[in-house]
Amino acid sequence: MRAAGCALCEASGGPIVFQGAKFRVVRAEEAGYPAFYRLVWSEHVREFSDLDAADRALCMDAVVTIENVVREHLLPAKVNLATLGNVVAHLHWHVIARFHWDPAWPAPVWAASQRAPDPARIQEVDGRRPALEAAIAAALSR
């Protein structure tokens, strides 16, 4: 089921890291945040509570899997999880590795920047991303 005019029904939402039957994982291209991922539910549903119990469990297990792989590969200061949907009312979860050096730390990524992005640190994370994303895909394929 797709909804006309929905950005996440009509496009992937970013480079695809994993594609499954019920959801996909994409890398969000957010400046200053090199490890910002979204789990996007395949069917157009607005709220997490719209899923049945089995799909809610599948979704949360996947979010936890992504979080664990991100933690293992990047050792971030924190991982933020969020499902807002105020702008795009299509169920998706944000899984965001946070670092003390990122632009808005310690505030949410959507807050005003407190510092300029650090190109050297971003490049370091970018270099680790292929292995990270391969590990995310492998873990979700199990």
pTM: 0.96
Q: What are the backbone angles phi and psi of residue 8, rounded to the nearest 5°?
A: -90, -10
Q: What's the pLDDT score for residue 17? A: 98
Q: What is the CATH number of the domain that holds 11?
A: 3.30.428.10
Per-residue pLDDT reduced to its tens digit, 31-85: 999 999 999 999 999 999 999 999 999 999 999 999 999 999 999 999 999 999 8
**Domain residues for 137?**
7-141
Mean confidence (pLDDT) of the chain: 97
**Whether 79 contacts 37, CB under 8 Å:** no
Query: Is residue 33 domain-resident?
Result: yes
Query: Is residue 37 domain-resident?
Result: yes
**Structure tokens of 50?**
């719209």
